[in-house]
Amino acid sequence: MAKQQTFADKAAKAALMKGSKCPTCGEIYQPILMVSSEQNKTKATWKFQERRVQVCKCNEKQVYA
């Protein structure tokens, strides 16, 4: 049988492994992947940039806005 993991299990495990807490709100940072698109002005092509963002209570409103 395939091993099944819920998202909550993964998140909990990741939190245990990393355990980096925000000193302001005490929440454990959730690493998320943000994808933004940028247009190359000279070639008029689009490229996508991925960046990892650490989200906690302090910045979740800005991140998910």
3-state secondary structure 19-38: CCECCCCCCECEEEEEEEEE
- From the list 1-9, 10-18, 37-45, 53-61, the region that binds Zn ion by CB under 5 A is 53-61
- Please identify which residue in 15, 58, 60, 63 interacts with Zn ion, judged by CB under 5 A: 58
Residue carrying the six token digits 């490229």: 47
- Please identify which residue in 22, 28, 60, 63 interacts with Zn ion, judged by CB under 5 A: 22
Residue 20 makes contact with Zn ion by CB under 5 A:
no
Residue (of 50, 47, 49) closest to 39 by Cα position: 47
Q: Smaller CB distance to Zn ion: residue 47 or 57?
A: 57
